[in-house]
Amino acid sequence: MVVDKEIAEEFIAVAHRIVWCTVATTDTKGRPRARVLHPLWEYDETAGLAGWIVTRPTPVKVAHLARTPFATCSYWDPAQDVAIADCDAMWVADGPSRARIWAAYRDAPAPLGYDFWSVFPAGPDSDEVGLLRLAPYRLRITGIETLTGQRPPTSWRRSAKAGPKAAARAAGRGVG
């Protein structure tokens, strides 16, 4: 089941306005571990919503995702806008995807846009660069109206039949 376009657009609007989010994974002992990262989200009518993170594939991140291939992205701002995505997370090694996402970050308007050359001078194909693809299985968007009881939260959950492999197939990408 692909994320409804209206819900995806609402999520992207909040996420791209806030830009930085807390991303949590699970360590090898089942404990949560959080860090602040900068995902870029895109929506496609066929593949649905996908998040992309250009990051260092540190031994900690690699071990966490090898054991438990899931991440939660949590956005919050002082106006009480919140967007949360619980996701299947997978490392993407193919060069065309890495180059495309690198360029998408570079070309995005501020404050979302970012030129990774300053952080990764060897470029997108360097072993220092990792690309994470996030495929949401649950979204929740709230605001001050939700906190005050004026509006229910916006939420979406992928059907139980559509697990990570089905989501990857729908996106036209392999799992891994």
Per-residue model confidence as pLDDT tens for the chain (176 residues): 788 999 999 999 999 999 999 999 999 899 999 999 999 999 998 889 999 999 999 999 999 999 999 999 999 999 999 999 999 999 999 889 999 999 999 999 999 999 999 999 999 999 999 999 999 999 999 999 988 899 999 999 998 765 555 444 444 333 33
Per-residue pLDDT, 95 = 86
Contacts of 42 (CB under 8 A, 6+ apart): 12, 49, 50, 52, 104
Contact indicator for 153, 123 with CB cutoff of 8 Å = no
Q: Which residue has the tokens 């991303």?
A: 23
Q: d(Cα 7, Cα 158) in Å, to the nearest integer?
A: 12
| Domain parsing of the chain, residue ranges | 5-170
Residue 82: strand pairing partners = 76, 142
Per-residue pLDDT, 176 = 31
Residue 76: strand pairing partners = 82
Contacts of 34 (CB under 8 A, 6+ apart): 22, 23, 24
CATH of the domain spanning 5-170: 2.30.110.10
pTM: 0.87
Contact indicator for 50, 92 with CB cutoff of 8 Å = no
Q: Which helix (H) or strand (E) holds 99?
A: helix 95-107
b/e map 160-169, b = 16+ CB within 10 Å? eebebeebbe
Contact indicator for 52, 39 with CB cutoff of 8 Å = yes
Q: How many helices (H) and strands (E) does the chain have?
A: 5, 8
